[in-house]
């Protein structure tokens, strides 16, 4: 059976800023150092696939390369070396008209710089990508109003960007991105300027839409709690390279490097790890009694784990199918801290 084509696939992607990036990269590959002010290695030999319908969250400290990587994936900047493909098509080989059409029909983008049109009302700003598609005026304005209601800006349709706060302008950018219902969303810290209540509502909305519409999302954040709530997988970057790309469970249970271990050291692992993350193959041993849902965290299952004295618990998916067994002592160690 042929494996499905990834929504996004990048192979050995480098992005170097400087006056001779290709020559500089060639020197690096021969063993040269990347010290010096003339060039900056922003993305370093990244190979990554993003599956159809997956939400990949990219994390890292300031300067780690996460925002540059997203711009490489959408070809907002040209890569120095490597390839980026969208649904199997090399976007580096696309003509300008082909790239424009891809962005209009496949991609939604929300970045920290809002990019709003100052001479247009926020209703016009949200409707603008639909106008570029040639959508009929009434339909595009109806869709724009619906999106503005979603982000809490109903009643401000006639305002101009300069009349809104920074957080409100960011919400307009989010509404504009949602308006086109893209297959792929690139989001660079889109909720960073929102107040906590609206931020939580927007997270809920993205999770709902992802579940309903099978969207593929690449989401940048510096907030690890946000990443844990949203991500199917998390990619942690350092100095332009990906240190680890894995599920939240594996990131906190099996950090691949010392850097990832330090990055996740203060996380309450019981709040992150789900029953599925501790489940192991049953090896034909029958486990009796009530099953534990695979998608609940150890923290959510805490009372049941403490009060149930079985050695192992069956773990089932949302269809009731057995996926493995979870050892009670392993779950208790995660929940209460390992015994000395």
Among residues 183, 203, 231, the one where a domain terminates is 231
The length of the chain is 340
User: Does the residue 187 lie in any domain?
Assistant: yes
pLDDT above 80 for 13: yes
Domain contains 41: no
Banded model confidence at residue 36, pLDDT cuts 50, 70, 90 = low
User: Percent of the chain scored above 90 by pLDDT?
Assistant: 54
Q: What's the mean pLDDT in 35-43?
A: 81
Confidence at 250, pLDDT banded by 50, 70, 90: very high
Per-residue pLDDT band at 191 (split at 50, 70, 90): confident
Residue 295 sits in the same domain as residue 180: no
Average pLDDT over residues 48-62: 93
Q: How far is CA 151 from CA 130, 175, 185, 244, 283, in A?
A: 18, 7, 17, 33, 49
- Co-location of 108 and 165 in the same domain: yes
Among 200, 231, 262, the domain boundary falls at 231
Contacts of 198 (CB under 8 A, 6+ apart): 151, 152, 167, 171, 191
Question: Is the residue at 85 inside a domain?
Answer: no
Mean pLDDT of the residues in the chain: 88
Residue 225 pLDDT level (bands cut at 50, 70, 90): confident
Tell how strand 55-59 and strand 81-86 pair up: unpaired
The helix or strand, by DSSP H or E, that contains position 330, with its residue range, turns out to be helix 328-336
Judgement on whether residues 100 and 210 belong to the same structural domain of the protein: yes
Whether residue 215 is found in the same domain as residue 310:
no
Judgement on whether residues 180 and 294 belong to the same structural domain of the protein: no
Report the b/e string of 272-294 with b at 16+ CB within 10 A: bbbbbbbbeeeeeeebeeebbeb
Q: Confidence class of residue 75 from pLDDT cuts 50, 70 and 90?
A: very high
How far, in whole angstroms, is CA 233 from its chain's centroid?
8
Give the CATH number for residue 276: 3.10.580.10
- Same-domain check for residues 118 and 224: yes
Q: What pLDDT digit, counting tens, does each position of 125-172 carry?
A: 999 989 888 889 999 999 999 989 888 899 999 999 999 987 788 888
pLDDT for position 339 = 43
pLDDT tops 80 at residue 260: yes
Which residue reads 């029953």 in tokens?
Answer: 275
Residue 108 belongs to a domain? yes
The closest alpha carbon to 268, from 184, 172, 337, belongs to 337
- Within a domain: 199: yes
Domain that holds residue 102: 95-231
* Same domain flag for 124 and 214: yes
Any idea what the CATH number is for the domain that residue 100 is in? 3.40.50.300
Does residue 214 sit in the same domain as residue 301?
Answer: no
User: Residue 46: its pLDDT value, please?
Assistant: 97
Q: Please, which pLDDT band fits residue 284 given cuts at 50, 70 and 90?
A: low
At residue 340, the pLDDT reads 34
Specify whether 227 is located in the same domain as 165: yes
Query: Considering the entire predicted model, what is its pTM?
Result: 0.84
| Cα-based angle 76, 47, 203 (whole degrees, multiple of 5) | 65
Please check the confidence at residue 81 and state whether its pLDDT lies above 90: yes
Let me know if residue 292 belongs to a domain.
yes
Highest mean pLDDT among 110-114, 183-187, 210-214: 183-187
Domain count, the chain: 2
CA distance 42 to 65: 5
Same domain for 208 and 287, yes or no, is no
Give CB contacts under 8 A, 24+ apart, made by 94-100. 99/75
Share of the chain above pLDDT 70, in %: 94
Give the model's pLDDT for residue 28. Answer: 86
Of 183, 212, 231, the position where a domain reaches its end is 231
* Helix runs in 214-257, H state only: 224-230, 248-253
Q: How many Cβ atoms from other residues are within 10 Å of residue 252's Cβ?
A: 26
Considering the domain boundaries, does residue 279 fall inside one? Answer: yes
Do 280 and 216 sit in the same domain of this protein? no
In a domain? residue 56:
no
**Do 224 and 274 lie in a common domain?**
no
């Amino acid at each position: 059976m042929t494996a499905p084509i990834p929504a996004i696939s990048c192979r050995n992607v480098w992005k170097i800023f400087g006056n001779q990036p290709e020559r500089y990269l060639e020197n690096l590959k021969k063993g040269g150092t990347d010290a010096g002010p003339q060039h900056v290695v922003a993305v370093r030999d990244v190979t990554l696939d993003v599956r159809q319908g997956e939400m990949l969250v990219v994390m890292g400290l300031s300067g780690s390369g996460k925002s540059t990587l997203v711009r490489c994936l959408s070809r907002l900047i040209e890569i120095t070396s490597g390839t980026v493909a969208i649904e199997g098509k090399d976007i580096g080989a696309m003509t300008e008209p082909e790239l424009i059409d891809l962005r209009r029909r496949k991609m939604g983008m929300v970045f920290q710089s809002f990019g709003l049109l100052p001479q247009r009302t926020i209703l016009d700003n949200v409707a603008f990508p639909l106008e570029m598609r040639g959508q009929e005026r009434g339909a595009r304005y109806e869709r724009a109003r619906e999106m503005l209601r979603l982000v809490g800006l109903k009643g401000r349709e006639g305002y101009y960007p300069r009349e809104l706060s920074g957080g409100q302008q960011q919400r307009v950018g989010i509404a504009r991105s949602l308006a086109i219902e893209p297959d792929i969303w690139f989001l660079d810290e889109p909720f960073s300027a929102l107040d906590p209540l609206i931020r939580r509502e927007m997270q809920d909305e993205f999770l709902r839409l992802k579940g309903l519409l099978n969207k593929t999302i690449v989401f940048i954040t510096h907030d690890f709690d946000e990443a844990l709530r949203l991500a199917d997988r998390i990619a942690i970057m350092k100095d332009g390279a990906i240190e680890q790309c894995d599920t939240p469970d594996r990131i906190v249970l099996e950090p691949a490097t010392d850097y990832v271990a330090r990055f996740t050291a203060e996380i309450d692992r019981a709040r992150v790890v789900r029953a599925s993350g501790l489940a192991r193959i049953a090896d034909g041993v029958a486990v009796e009694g009530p099953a534990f849902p695979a998608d609940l965290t150890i923290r959510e299952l805490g009372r049941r784990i403490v009060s149930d004295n079985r050695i192992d618990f069956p773990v089932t998916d949302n269809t009731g199918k057995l996926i493995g067994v979870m050892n009670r002592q392993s779950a208790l160690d995660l929940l209460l801290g390992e015994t000395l």
